[in-house]
Amino acid sequence: MQTKWLSYEDEAAVAEAAELLQNGELVAFATETVYGLGADAMNESAVKKIFEAKGRPSDNPLIVHIYDQSQLEALVQEVSFDAKRLMDAFWPGPLTIILPKKKNVPDATTGGLSTVAVRMPDHPAAQAILRASNVPVAAPSANLSGKPSPTTARDVFEDMNGRIPMLIDGGDCEVGVESTVVDMTRTPAMILRPGGVTREMMEAVIGPVEVHEAVLAPLASDAQAASPGMKYKHYAPKAHVRIITGDRAAERICRLYDAAKKEGISTIIFSVCEEKELFGDRDFYAWGDLEDVASVAHHLFSSLRMADEKGYDQVLCHSVDTEGVGLAVMNRLVRAAGFDIEQA
Ligand code: AMP
Ligand code: MG
């Protein structure tokens, strides 16, 4: 199968994408978070193709994308008062809301759960396809399972070429990390996965919001995964990723780098551009600015993919603060690092 790579600004391409979705085929498309790999959420055999194309475990549920709140009627049993307030405040945007599902939403879409995750994306490519197809679209990130999520059309093409009929290009993803996932079937609401809509932003609208303990820690092996995705190894590049935190992190990174170099382990340092000078002539990549953690989120996955493309054995990352979107960055980073965090 040849994957057609077309722009969302091409009307004929959007019409063809919509037709593919209606016919139970897969289409990858840009959203503001990361690229998604979509199928008609109500069509079980279409949804199964997503799991095949990605090599994704079948108990890992998908997010259902809609362009209008009226589509919720077919998907969820009820929208609570607070859930509605979050929708009105943050949709379209990088917030996924978990609600009790209607029976006709296939088990394949929800990983057999009695709940469904729903999001309204804020990207003209995603919106055009959702509107033209007029079906709710189940879409996980359009990467091979376990690899860093794709934030450019080229990333998607690299992973999915030959596996899917069409890729709709919408440029680089603005947010760069996946949506915030919030469980609204309990009180208080609980963040299962941090993202572009932060705890602070939600609390300003609905009051106290909890954060699941597995957000920054490994899931205890006996713990029941509230959000099945949390138990899988995620976001991992081929290179060995290590996180260094604390006041003496930069010094420690230099020492680790120099020791690795002696052993022939090729290493790159990721930190904010303000720290470049601290690392001298060591291989360094500025993944964002100190005062703008969203810029780190934006570059996070592309940085990890770049390290693999250039063949580095090891990436030494200076941690970021977990305020605001920093929590989403650290959630992805600790997983990429297999929870290898050192306090310096
Ligand atoms: P991805 O589509 O790759 O961004 O992954 C979606 C993630 O959303 C999953 O791995 C789950 O962790 C989470 N998720 C989706 N649906 C549900 C649900 N019904 N209950 C809890 N978590 C969910
Ligand atoms: Mg994913």
DSSP 269-337: EEE-GGGGGGGTTS-EEE-SBTTBHHHHHHHHHHHHHHHHHTT-SEEEEE----STTHHHHHHHHHHHT
Per-residue pLDDT reduced to its tens digit, 182-197 = 999 999 999 999 999 9
* Domain around 180: 4-215
- Residue 136 in contact with residue 42, Cβ under 8 Å? yes
Per-residue pLDDT reduced to its tens digit, 324-342 = 999 999 999 999 998 999 9
Q: Clarify whether residues 36 and 154 are in a common domain.
A: yes
Is residue 204, in this structure, part of any structural domain at all? yes
Is residue 32, in this structure, part of any structural domain at all? yes
- Domain final position from 215, 232, 259: 215
Nearest ligand, measured from the Cα of 145: 2
Q: Clarify whether residues 121 and 160 are in a common domain.
A: yes
Residues with CB under 6 A from ligand 1: 60-63, 98, 110, 113, 115-117, 140-141, 178, 181, 192-193, 227-230
DSSP 117-146: EEE----HHHHHHHHHH-S-EE--BSS-TT
Write the residue with the smallest CA distance to atom 5 of ligand 1.
140
Write the residue with the smallest CA distance to atom 4 of ligand 1.
140
Indicate whether 56 pLDDT > 90: no
Q: Clarify whether residues 166 and 103 are in a common domain.
A: yes
Indicate whether 219 pLDDT > 90: no
> What CA–CA distance (Å, rounded) separates 325 from 310?
28
Give residue 275's pLDDT: 96
Per-residue pLDDT reduced to its tens digit, 201-214 = 999 999 999 999 98
Is residue 143, in this structure, part of any structural domain at all? yes
Ligand 1 center from residue 145 Cα (angstroms): 13
Ligand 1 atom at minimal distance to the Cα of residue 96: 8
Residue 147 binned pLDDT confidence (cut-offs 50, 70, 90): confident
Q: Clarify whether residues 111 and 206 are in a common domain.
A: yes
Q: Clarify whether residues 42 and 173 are in a common domain.
A: yes
Is residue 223, in this structure, part of any structural domain at all? no
Query: Where residue 256 sits, what CATH number does that domain have?
Result: 3.40.50.11030
Return residues with CB closer than 5 A to ligand 2 (ion): 140-141
Question: Average pLDDT for residues 279-294, to the nearest whole number?
Answer: 97
Ligand 2 center from residue 141 Cα (angstroms): 4
Query: Where residue 16 sits, what CATH number does that domain have?
Result: 3.90.870.10
Is residue 220, in this structure, part of any structural domain at all? no
Q: Clarify whether residues 199 and 252 are in a common domain.
A: no
Ligand 1 center from residue 266 Cα (angstroms): 35
Q: Within its chain, how far is the Cα of 214 from the centroid? A: 16
Per-residue pLDDT reduced to its tens digit, 246-279 = 999 999 999 999 999 999 999 999 999 999 999 9
Write the residue with the smallest CA distance to atom 21 of ligand 1.
227
